[in-house]
Amino acid sequence: MKYLEEFQNPELAAGLLADIRATVTRPWALMEVCGGQTHSIIRHAIDQLLPDEVELIHGPGCPVCVTPLEVIDRALAIAARPEVVFCSFGDMLRVPGTDRDLFRVRGEGGDVRVVYSPLDALRIARENPDREVVFFGIGFETTAPPNAMAVHVARKQGLRNFSMLVSHVRVPPAIEAIMNSPDCRVQGFLAAGHVCSVMGTDEYPALAERHRVPIVVTGFEPLDILEGIRRTVRQLERGEHTVDNAYPRAVRPEGNPAARAMLEDVFEVTDRAWRGIGVIPQSGWRLSPRYRDHDAEHRFDVSGITTREPAQCRSGEVLQGLLKPHECEAFGTTCTPRTPLGATMVSSEGACAAYYLYRRLGVPAAPQEASPVG
């Protein structure tokens, strides 16, 4: 695929890695925010190529991992209703709720369908006027415009049997929360490239300045990630803390104005609980009042749900980079990919799932710990 494969070319990695090695003089801890970046790092084993001084902390940029337990339980309750066709991205099917997941609901007779695009859910609504079609609208700012369009079209076309269960999260408040955490070790961020394709970069300079961290907008292919790391390390070594765009082919400072306009119309900012982390103020989007008729939270009364996180699960600390997965008592014992306690073990880019694989091999999943800054 053009403009994809070229950025997977191992021959071009050598130069990037050599520059990183030549530049780095002391340990640095970097966080990549986006789950897609984590996936790519694990998939291509990029962290194994880095010099020991560069540590990658996997951030909470995985909507699977951070969708609140209450929302999962609400989704499960709605999906179990006989009149509902529950449409979801594949990522969410195995996420454990309090006592089951969407796969189990399907096994018990629920009509749960995996879709590639929210437009597929719209089509299902059109083709099944006698059913209530609910779309699980999760994701970061990248997925928000597609989800917004689906609701917008449903309202415009009077598709009364279509509604969305929304749980969107925003990256900048998450970075703020991570940096405000007292035990934060993160010294530089690889910002989520496709989030910035939509939102642009104007939300980041204030963060970089306030917390004195370099923020480098980074892509997803191996060479893009190495380049993002290279530029971040360079800034750190020079004592700089600016916003830099290392993914210019897909990111413009203004982002996508048409998408941003739609987000303004369809969503409003809200406080959002992040699973395992807690409430981060202003960190989410919900449907604006104009779209209340298509809001699954209002359409379905799903009261009476008791939400309970397994006591042993420490996903939140892992998500914030405060705990390495193998330091959790449940890791590899009561919590495995087959019997996950929390989302970081379920998700293919969850830090716990990644560590589980490498740990069995006996290969360190990350270079040696960066020594405390100071």
Q: Return the DSSP state at 369.
A: P
- Asked if residue 115 lies in contact with residue 87, where contact means CB atoms within 8 angstroms, the answer is yes
Tokens coding 80: 């179990």
CB of 229: closest distance to other proteins in angstroms? 13
- For other proteins, the closer of residues 3 and 304 by Cβ is 3
131 binds other proteins (CB under 8 A): no
Choose which of 133, 297, 349, 351 interacts with other proteins (CB under 8 A): 349
157 binds other proteins (CB under 8 A): yes
Choose which of 155, 269, 305, 337 interacts with other proteins (CB under 8 A): 337
90 binds other proteins (CB under 8 A): yes
259 binds other proteins (CB under 8 A): yes
- For other proteins, the closer of residues 257 and 373 by Cβ is 257
Tell which positions 312-331 bind other proteins, by CB under 8 A: none
348 binds other proteins (CB under 8 A): yes
Tell which positions 196-215 bind other proteins, by CB under 8 A: 197-198
- Asked if residue 199 lies in contact with residue 169, where contact means CB atoms within 8 angstroms, the answer is no
Choose which of 76, 189, 358, 370 interacts with other proteins (CB under 8 A): 358
| Contacting residues for 17 by C-beta, under 8 A, at least 6 apart | 49, 50, 226
- Asked if residue 192 lies in contact with residue 171, where contact means CB atoms within 8 angstroms, the answer is yes
| Contacting residues for 93 by C-beta, under 8 A, at least 6 apart | 101, 102, 103, 112, 114
372 binds other proteins (CB under 8 A): no
- For other proteins, the closer of residues 60 and 316 by Cβ is 60
98 binds other proteins (CB under 8 A): no
- Asked if residue 59 lies in contact with residue 347, where contact means CB atoms within 8 angstroms, the answer is no
Distance CA 101, CA 104 (A): 5
